[in-house]
Chain A
């Protein structure tokens, strides 16, 4: 490695290039690979058709999450197609010697929640999964991104994928976040400024005191949403907060190994003077609790604002109008006071313990609005256990909420957790695309605080009223 100033991204990327192909991608080595039931079966089928095996099964981890029920997980899965996917994941994992955390396993949960909480995700690693929110793991100073099924097959068979090196962007957010402004709001704010394609072709490093002062879970929420502005992934330099989070996790390094790794992790930061292809700055004080009003995550705004006019937004007017039409909103509408039918708290974006603590902080002492259906879905069994241990379950129950079992649930609505056509859902997940949460569903993305305020009032409400 040269001595010129280098970015965190370059340090990690360059140390994983097995071969550079001239006028082509890099052959890129993968440290950790997560698989789930939806995007892996065809990859295993491909291995079989080619007559090849899994090169390093100990580097791949399987969990069932995308297409699992969130109630009665002890019963057989009713939908035969879903049951078949789960069965295949189990069979394929057993056949090739891959650790598998199936339905009911105490380690089971959403892939991007269980990786970090079990100490599988570590700084300086390269991590991939057939799910675009793999960018979550970048919170640890890892290069992590989503891949397609062909690439899942590549990783299984050779522990490598072919990747052109992305360009580098640094996003700095400095200052003090206001009351009720969470990591989710920081991310939605950045996406609203950059648009859904603003970071396409880039890998992002988040820097500045807002991220330095953020918890690991908050950093995961921010990195998780990197893909929603088109970025391949996002990362944050590891620091004491990171090391404290990792230490003692079941699969984290221990003893002398811990010391060696820690010494390496401490080198993982962008050197002063290193250059980026693009650098963007934001002020923390400009950010308020956010909510989306359209059909992509870039269509978000501060909760007290009014929906922008088509003429004032970048991009085609027809696309914009189609989007508002789908949502049943009009230009210049205020979001405050809009009726809410469903509330979903969960997903790999906001399904960790801090998210449920935040949600509970607002609903405590209130009652769920009668007309609101609320789905409260922990990201993993470990999170579920924490919710119970910390007394959050009692607060939820008292307020009229029911805790479901872990899984992706209404984030992508592959299971039965579907928002009906035309209904409005305030969701802490990551995508408000047409029909994402069920055919015809209308999604308003927001933080756990905004979701909580909506759940008890039954309309879009500024959570700061309750803080």
Chain B
């Protein structure tokens, strides 16, 4: 499934300073019954966002008009638990293109990149600076520069670099995915398989 290429993203951000946000919270299991990749954004953080009568919970950040943007900033160990890629689809479909945290669960990190979301891992200190900056001014912008591998808080100019391997970076910059790559090396794979 192709996705939009990613280069430099300048946007305000939505803060969610909760640790261990697991993929069951991002998209609860009862919304995994679709057989197409459509409409998952509506149920992003469903049980934190709506009460049992489907009314928006006013104290949840996605229901607070003060905060908006294409960047989601989460606490440590974001995306733990279930391997459901639906979690990444829901985040993408809602309109986020980048998730920032001080630590990501492995499977979620991989799924995010595979669907075109950039996971940016920063130090705990820098994460704290981001939360503070947003608290001061909810409209403050973050600049996520994939070519330079940096993230900057516009208001303060504070910046930090982040890691991503060269292969995945190239893919994201161009909107390529792994399946394109693998299709191009099928005879090498067939050779390998025949020797096993």
Residue numbers of A with Cβ under 8 A of B are 18-19, 21-25, 27, 29, 31, 38-39, 41-42, 45-46, 49-50, 52, 55-56, 66-67, 79, 81-82, 84-85, 88, 130-132, 146-151, 153-154, 157-162, 164, 166, 196-197, 200-201, 230, 232, 296, 315-316, 318-319, 322, 412-414, 421, 431, 433-436, 439-440
Contact = CB atoms under 8 A, between A and B. Distances in A.
B36 A196 contact: no
Contacts of A296: 20, 22, 80
Interface residues of B, number: 57
B157 to A, nearest CB: 27
Contact of A319 (B20, B103, B167, B193): B20
Contact of B81 (A39, A41, A45, A433): A433
Given A131-B83, A414-B32, A421-B52, A158 B189 contact: yes
A160 B189 CA distance: 8
Contacts of B17: 316, 318
Contacts of A52: 179, 183
B175 to A, nearest CB: 14
A197 B167 contact: no
B166 A146 contact: no
Contacts of B81: 132, 431, 433
A154 B189 contact: no
Interface in B124-163: none
A150 B177 contact: yes
Contacts of A29: 189, 192-193, 196
Contacts of B183: 50, 52, 157-158
Given A45-B36, A296-B22, 5 more contacts: A25-B165, A132-B107, A149-B86, A431-B24, A433-B25
Contacts of B47: 434-435, 439-440
Given A29-B193, A160-B189, A434-B24, A154 B178 contact: yes
Interface in B34-51: 34-37, 47
Contacts of B33: 38, 67, 79, 81-82, 84-85, 414
A48 B56 CA distance: 38
A439 B45 CA distance: 12
Contact of A315 (B37, B76, B115): B76
Given A154-B178, A154-B179, A157-B182, A81 B107 contact: no
A45 B168 CA distance: 24
B193 A56 contact: yes
Nearest to A322: B18
A231 B76 CA distance: 16
B24 to A, nearest CB: 4
A25 B167 contact: yes
Contacts of B34: 81
B68 interface: no
11 contacts: A18-B192, A27-B185, A42-B35, A55-B190, A82-B33, A154-B179, A296-B20, A296-B80, A318-B17, A414-B30, A434-B24
Contacts of B107: 132, 146-148, 232
Contacts of B11: none
B110 interface: yes
A18 B196 CA distance: 11
B19 A148 contact: no
B10 interface: no
A150 B83 contact: no
B174 to A, nearest CB: 14
Contact of A150 (B35, B52, B114, B181): B114
A439 B30 CA distance: 9
A165 to B, nearest CB: 12
B188 A18 contact: yes
Contact of A132 (B82, B86, B185): B82
